[in-house]
Amino acid sequence: MTLSAGDAAPEFTMPATHGREVALARLRGKPFVLYFYPRADTPGCTKEACAFQQALPQLGHIGATVIGVSKDKLPALEKFAEKYGLEFPLASDQSGVAEAFGAWVEKSMYGRTYMGMDRATFLIDGAGRIAKIWRKVKVPGHAAAVMAALAAL
């Protein structure tokens, strides 16, 4: 099943950096950004995370939060967060959340196919519904586009 704007966001609970746990049930009532990225501390993922970190003050004004999601284990995520001063939660998806959101996809490189994380972002409204989806995200300007969509909610 492919998710679309207007659909209910799939339920999730994941462990996150700094001893946190993120769950759809706890986030209801205010909008939030759930972004999926391939791997912590790689060039594109670092640029994306730092762009969202820079946007945090504006996001706080809107009352929204950001959650980054990858298949990395928590120790790697903690190291990534500390290295770049990332204050928002980085969640470790070990339970199929990326699959539920359609962000775990077949990829191909050098003629070899494999499963991997699609760089995708979901804007979830306060009622737990998907307000907007960005798939195959290109990092430059993405955080600004997400901020504009949040402001329009």
Residues assigned a catalytic role: 45
Q: Phi/psi at 95 (nearest 5 deg)?
A: -125, 15
- Helix, coil or strand: residue 101: helix
Residues 7 and 2: their CA atoms lie apart, in Å, by 10
| H or E segment to which residue 100 belongs | helix 97-101
Asked if residue 113 lies in contact with residue 106, where contact means CB atoms within 8 angstroms, the answer is yes
Give helix 43-62 / helix 74-84 axis angle, nearest 10°. 70
Q: Phi/psi at 97 (nearest 5 deg)?
A: -65, -45
Residue 58: CB atoms within 10 A of its CB come to 14
DSSP 8-state code for residue 42: S
